[in-house]
Chain A
């Protein structure tokens, strides 16, 4: 049972436009959500996170939205830049397993100049 799902394997957008990456989860016990970015031949790097007590968190060009009733979160990148081209992983965790995160399969974002 995959508890964290990223249903879009890939996304392509034009430079300067908005990129929206989506993530769905099934476990209502998850209380913290994270997005990681991964370039080829490198490990994932932390990008942005959100607690389940919030519905939005913003950091520069990156905003994460959380809809708990729908068990859905999304990452918005505005404006998109070619350097944002990477694989984006959604991850979720809950307090009883502090540190243990469940990852989605990732979405490959391509930003075209």
Chain B
């Protein structure tokens, strides 16, 4: 299995631009999570899906952030417009419902200038 796949691995953009991060979970996993890691706030959960349905988006910082999961094999996290304080590493993780362990992707390092 290829594991959780995230793209791009690195993204550098200018303030005000739209950013879209992509994630392909492990085949067969039905829970998907988006995390953000920063020095100040550590690893924080932004949103998670069960069976493609958003369950808890209380961690999404602002309306500029949105996430979708159109099918079981793909999810996106969009930031529009992006700001310098959005600079962070964004991780996607997946798991089987009822299983505690989550499998993380390699992350996308986002830099907003």
Q: A residues touching B (Cβ–Cβ < 8 Å)?
A: 32, 34, 36, 41-46, 49, 89, 93, 97-106
Among candidates B93, B98, B105, B107, residue contacting A98 with C-beta atoms closer than 8 Å: B98
Taking CB atoms, residues of chain B closer than 8 Å to A42 are 106-107
Consensus secondary structure, chain B interface: strand
A99 near B107 with CB under 8 A, answer no
B98 near A46 with CB under 8 A, answer no
Taking CB atoms, residues of chain A closer than 8 Å to B105 are 43
Among candidates B31, B50, B97, B101, residue contacting A46 with C-beta atoms closer than 8 Å: B101
Quick check: is B14 within 8 A (CB to CB) of the other chain?
Answer: no
A43 near B93 with CB under 8 A, answer yes
Among candidates B42, B43, B97, residue contacting A99 with C-beta atoms closer than 8 Å: B97
Q: B residues touching A (Cβ–Cβ < 8 Å)?
A: 4, 31, 33, 35, 42-45, 48, 50, 55-56, 91, 93, 95, 97-98, 100-107
Please judge, given known A-B contacts A41-B106, A42-B106, A43-B106, whether A106 and B97 are in contact too, CB under 8 Å.
Answer: no
Please judge, given known A-B contacts A43-B104, A43-B105, A46-B103, whether A101 and B50 are in contact too, CB under 8 Å.
Answer: no
B106 near A99 with CB under 8 A, answer no
B45 near A99 with CB under 8 A, answer no
A106 near B42 with CB under 8 A, answer yes
B97 near A43 with CB under 8 A, answer no
CA distance A82 to B87 in the complex (A): 31
Taking CB atoms, residues of chain B closer than 8 Å to A97 are 55-56
Please judge, given known A-B contacts A99-B95, A101-B45, A105-B42, whether A49 and B101 are in contact too, CB under 8 Å.
Answer: yes
